Structure 1
Amino acid sequence: MAPRIVLVTGVADQLGGRLAARLADDPEIERVLGVDTAPSSVPRSTRVEFVRADIRDPRIAKVLTSARVDTVVHAAPRPGPGAKERNVIGTMQLLAACQRAETVRKLVVKSTAEVYGGGADAPAVFTEQDAAAKGDAAEIEGYALGLARRRPEVVLTIMRLAEIIGPHVDNALTRYFSLPVVPTVLGFDARVQFLHIDDALAVLERATTHDLPGVFNVGGDGVLMLSQAIRRAGRIPLPMPKAAIGPATRLTGGGVELSPSLSRLLSYGRVIDTTRLKTAFGFTPKWTTTTAFDDYVRGSTHR
């Protein structure tokens, strides 16, 4: 069943804002509500109705019920200061509101491949059957799965996105590759996999407009070695002991703050299998890992 009234969280971010705008362009969708605490990144020319609200506030339930929302796209989880409270507590409140709202029949959760963790003993390729590691992403997915058990009529789709990249994408990873000298972990050359932001938008749009329940990995085909990516970005690698990476990135400028998850990625890498995405979900990314990264390099504003 096609959605009629959609609520998208996290519209202050580039991904959430652009997704809300795309959904508002769909003539079969009557209303799109974009929720965030900061001003929306959605152009005013769209039909998106911006609602300044904090999903950690129980009053988010009033937004769902008063608008008779039938589809919720939770695109808000993001790193940064206060991420634990914002992401996990916010998700708890949002899903509690979804459980009480009788009109809600679909939930799409933007998750991340970080849910698998990573380390020296990690598998070469993660599939959806691999157990989630501890962390915010695993907690968020756990709460979503709990809602699906309590409300089995709700269609739940969880999309585990690889590292998002592309022209004008601003996150810790793109800032890392924009450093004039890029610190790397001595003795390691991680395998990395990227997802172009256009494919991330397309896959989340499909998850919203179609009933495709389940958990799906999303990433571009192929991998790059970290050393290859640095060379393609025209940067110079600087190998150093792992403990020195964080301080070194701060000293080199660029506003890079390496989270524990990103530090693991740059040491051990992470590759996800996307077979179910192509078969059960019916989507093949347009951009490979390599072409997505090259498009980021061409459009980078930090060169």
Structure 2
Amino acid sequence: MHLKDLVEHNAVVNLATLTSDKELIIDLQTRLSAIGFMPGTDISTAIDGVFGAATKDALDRFCKAAHLNNSSTGVFGATFARKLIDTRPPVMPVTPTLGAKKQPTSDALATALKFTLQWEGGYVNHPDDPGGATNKGVTQNTYNTYRINNRLPTQGVDRITDKEVHDIYFSMYWQPSQAPIMVLPLAIVHFDTAVNFGVGGAIEFLQEALGISADGIFGPGTQKALLAHNNAQTAQKIVRGRVNYRNQRVNSNPSQEVFLVGWLNRDNDLGGFLDSSNAGIA
């Protein structure tokens, strides 16, 4: 069994099953190592299919950082697996895109934030929003992860500071999404998509716009496709993909219709922002 099987089949396993399934343990160790929850371990020996003390400790710390109670309940299902699959490492080093017209990261991120923050607003906790409590676009779960990773006690996202907001957007969205290697129009759209859908979700939208298999992982194939299509046209394709996804989501879950107008207004505004002088790309 693999983590993706838990997601695709909405399956559930208990701790005894997990710790006796070598394939599942290897999958678990691979993801925990990739996202930095097994530091100081030799990856060649850490991924061995044995559920030892290091793996258990890494699993416990991941669940705490992700605000999941699976380590306590001993039950692991689709929500746990999806969260582990979607979580990305703080930095994914890649070869810089050749020939791209780039701005300094601070300038590009400031431009991207100019759009994103005008739509995120302040503290909200809508009962029908699966993301839960959110402030300036940062969910409570994301804030918990940030505070734990910085060895700080968790607290309500309503207390987040402007510095923490900037740090989170830079270290947990801008950098791991690979926005710095993109031309400005694409970086703006890709970053805002990462904030909306998570880094893995943003990479899937990018991959779909590039016409390649969408697995949410920025690997060599995605980088090669990006090299050939690192432009504003790809950015516009992502915006259209977002609009299509919003409508499909509401069709499959009518309770989300209350958000549809706001979502579509944001997507349409993003398309307009790409063409405006305010984005510095006209």
TM-score, normalization: structure 2?
0.27
| Structure (1 or 2) with the greater strand fraction | 1
| Structure (1 or 2) with the greater helix fraction | 2
Q: Which has the higher contact order (CA 8 A, sep 6+)?
A: 1
